């Protein structure tokens, strides 16, 4: 049949110039078939629709070599940026360049990373943590480690607090930072609101450079190294006095008041000499408890006289003084005089001189209180 379609492997269909005689191909493009009826088409001299030139065949062969060997030397256009590598879905669309060396990254296995051993970045590389999170961590959790030491460099304006928890038996509880116990801004000075001795006692040596105030009882088997000399008591003040004045009960007052001592000529009145206004007592009793933070003596001195009752203290005296002689009242209130009369009544004696001199003016000399 004229114009039948002849199919050739690898070529498009041809209809032109085909003659069929008894169902056999006569010619194709002027080429006669061989005895078996096959037609061999030679290479085209140039690219032509439906035909391959020798150059075309060489290009196809090069592409086959690239596909099997992985060498791109035979490709004319080698990709130079990410945007030139795309798949059917065009997932890679960035125009950024690929830089860096993946060989320096720490390799992670497919099992790396979990809820108990997460991945984190170190020096720009993903690394699996070396610790295992074995439990849930609640909000506000407080973490501790084996290092329980606290380093503090005490500044002149900084308090170093002693802290603790609200639990006395376990490591749980609320952390308390302001416990009221701290090293004060003066290095080495410990400040505390209260020292509680009901459940225990301070052991060892206690050295105090300031004042100890106690509302309870102070008990000791012995007290040493008191640099002062007498035992004194706060007596209710009846007038202004000063250290060294001899003190007596005010016979004219309806209340118990004490004033500078004077000699009473009325034989119906008794003189009650209390002692000497002292400023060198080793122990002082009486008075009233001051408000917190106020000095005990400063608070009481306007209402009470610290009167030396026993021991030794300095008394005001005029005229010649003889060691060992008794001191009695002079004609000046509050001032004593050396007495050489061995028959002087004991009720008038303030104390006994432990030093002597020949001065006449009023001065203070040491006596042993009666």
Q: Which tens digits make up the pLDDT trace of 332-358?
A: 999 999 999 989 988 899 999 999 999
**Per the structure, how many domains does the chain have?**
2
* Dist. CA 285–CA 295, nearest whole Å: 14
Q: Which tens digits make up the pLDDT trace of 82-136?
A: 555 555 555 555 555 555 555 555 667 777 788 788 888 888 788 888 878 777 7
Compute the CA torsion angle 35, 41, 42, 43 (nearest 10 deg). Answer: -160
What CATH number should be reported for the domain holding residue 253? 2.40.300.10
Residue 265 maps to a domain: yes
Lowest model confidence (mean pLDDT) among 22-26, 47-51, 305-309, 347-351: 22-26
* Dist. CA 224–CA 56, nearest whole Å: 121
Show the domain range for 28: 1-39
Sort strands 119-122 and 258-260 into parallel, antiparallel or unpaired.
unpaired
Q: Which tens digits make up the pLDDT trace of 177-224?
A: 666 677 666 656 667 766 555 555 666 677 777 777 777 777 777 777
Q: Which tens digits make up the pLDDT trace of 27-50?
A: 555 566 777 766 666 665 555 555
Three-class HEC string of 269-304: CCCCEEEEECCCEEEEECCCCCCCCCCHHHHHCCCE
> Taking the CB of residue 250, how many other CB atoms lie within 10 A of it?
18
Q: Are 263 and 271 in contact (CB under 8 A)?
A: yes
Residue 297 maps to a domain: yes
Residue 154 maps to a domain: no
Residue 143 maps to a domain: no
Whether 2 has a pLDDT exceeding 80, the answer reads no
By three-state DSSP, how is residue 82 classified? helix
Residue 69 maps to a domain: no
The enclosing H or E element of 364 equals: strand 363-369
Residue 68 maps to a domain: no
10-15 contacts at long range (C-beta below 8 A, 24 or more positions apart):
11/41, 11/50, 11/51, 12/49, 12/50, 14/50
In a 10 Å sphere around its CB, with 0-12 CB exposed, 13-18 middle and 19+ buried, how is residue 284 labelled?
Answer: buried
Residue 129 maps to a domain: no
Tell me the whole-structure pTM to 2 decimals: 0.48
* Dist. CA 318–CA 337, nearest whole Å: 6
Residue 362 maps to a domain: yes
| Range 282-297 average pLDDT | 90
């Amino acid at each position: 049949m004229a114009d039948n379609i002849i199919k050739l492997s690898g070529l498009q269909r041809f209809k032109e110039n085909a003659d069929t005689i008894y169902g056999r191909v006569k010619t194709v493009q002027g080429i006669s078939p061989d005895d078996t009826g096959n037609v061999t088409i030679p290479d085209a001299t140039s690219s032509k629709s439906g035909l391959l030139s020798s150059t075309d065949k060489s290009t196809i062969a090069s592409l086959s070599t690239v596909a099997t060997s992985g060498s791109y030397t035979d490709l004319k256009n080698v990709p130079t940026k990410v945007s030139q590598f795309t798949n059917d879905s065009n997932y890679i669309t960035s125009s950024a360049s690929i830089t860096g060396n993946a060989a320096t990254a720490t390799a992670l296995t497919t099992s790396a990373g979990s809820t108990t051993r997460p991945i984190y970045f170190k020096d720009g590389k993903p690394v699996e943590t070396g610790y295992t999170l074995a439990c849930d961590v609640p909000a506000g959790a407080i973490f501790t480690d084996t290092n329980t030491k606290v380093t503090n460099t005490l500044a002149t304006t900084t308090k170093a607090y002693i802290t603790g928890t609200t639990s006395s038996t376990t490591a749980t509880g609320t952390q308390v930072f302001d416990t009221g116990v701290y090293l004060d801004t003066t290095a080495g000075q410990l400040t505390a609101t209260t020292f509680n001795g009901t459940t225990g006692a301070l052991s060892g040596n206690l050295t105090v450079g300031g004042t100890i105030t106690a509302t309870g009882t102070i008990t000791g088997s012995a007290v040493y190294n008191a640099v002062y000399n007498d035992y004194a008591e706060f007596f209710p003040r009846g007038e202004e006095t000063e250290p060294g004045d001899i003190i007596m009960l005010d016979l004219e007052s309806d209340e118990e008041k004490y004033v500078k001592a004077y000699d009473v000529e009325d034989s119906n009145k008794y003189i009650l000499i209390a002692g000497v206004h002292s400023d060198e007592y080793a122990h002082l009793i009486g008075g009233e408890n001051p408000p917190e933070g106020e000095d005990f003596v400063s608070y009481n001195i306007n209402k009470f006289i610290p009167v030396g009752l026993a021991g030794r203290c300095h008394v005001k005296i005029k005229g010649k003084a003889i060691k060992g002689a008794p001191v009695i009242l002079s004609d000046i209130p509050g001032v004593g005089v050396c007495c050489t009369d061995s028959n002087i009544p004991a009720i008038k004696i303030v104390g006994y001189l432990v030093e002597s001199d020949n001065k006449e003016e009023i001065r203070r000399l040491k006596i042993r209180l009666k």
